[in-house]
Amino acid sequence: MSKASSQKRLTPSRIQSMKGSAPIVCLTAYTTPMARALDAHCDLLLVGDSVGMVLYGLPSTISVTLDMMIAHGQAVMRGVTRACVIVDLPFGSYQESKEQAFRSAVRIMQETGCDGVKLEGGEEMVETIAFLTTRGVPVCGHIGLMPQQVHTAGSYRSLGHCESETAKIRRDARAVGGSGAFAVVIEGMVEPLAREVTAAVHVPTIGIGASPACDGQILVADDMLGMFTDFTPKFVKRYAGLAQAIDDAASAYADDVRNHRFPGKEHTFEIRTPPG
């Protein structure tokens, strides 16, 4: 048996045990090739509903469906041997009731083979998280800025600038942290509040736009790789400039085709003389 096939992937319980020790490295992934490229370097890969904006060009995550998440979850699972894989529950697939959430989560886990699900929400989701986890569904929470609630929040912005926001996030953190979730994503909040929340909960916090105070960090892989040139959020660090590299490559290819330089002789099939 090969090393890759015998290697055990990280589990949600292993991620939870990393609280306060080694920083947890997380990125999003939506396809098999990307999962293969990121797997060796990440502890957790999130099949995020951000796929709607990143791959489908949607204006928000609201239009993402359960079928879309399952299809991309299946693709990512084909590319991993090491990382824990968590799939987002999309908007409308869990908010109605804890029973609806369970049915959606079970379908995702059965049809993809992933390790658990992520859902957005604070105090209002505690009963749902507990219902799922006591029935064998590992759950990663998500508080702070919640993209699925952008229509009620009004905009994407950092939180924790006033006492009402801070108090709500404190309550949400305590509630989700004690609900049975194995970790919680905290998004878009000021550093002092992220530090306070991380210290207050016994499960790992995974930050996105929430400072180095968190137990781990996550970014949308396409942002990290510089696949977009129009806008870079403040909390994103670009480690490559793939959008420009792709543009340069496509330009060179088009120039070669238009000037009859491609395909060349080395790319062309010739008639072979039969042997004998």
Provide the annotated active-site residues.
187
Q: Which residues contact 19 (CB under 8 A, 6 or more apart)?
A: 202, 203, 204, 215
- The CA distances from residue 216 to 42, 44, 79, 183, 263, in Å, are 11, 10, 22, 10, 47
- Which residue has tokens 């105070």? 213
Scored b (16 or more CB within 10 A) or e, 54-88 reads beeeeebbbebebebbbebbbbbbebbbbbbbbbb
Q: Residue 120, annotated ligand binder?
A: yes
Q: Is 99 among the annotated ligand-binding positions?
A: no
Tokens 């016994």 label which residue?
202
Structure tokens at 44: 């957790």
- Report the chain's terminal Cα–Cα distance, integer Å: 43
49: annotated binding-site residue?
yes
**Binding residue ranges for Mg(2+):** 49, 88, 120
Binding-site residues for 3-methyl-2-oxobutanoate, in ranges, read 49-50, 88, 118
- Mark the binding-site residues, compressed into ranges: 49-50, 88, 118, 120
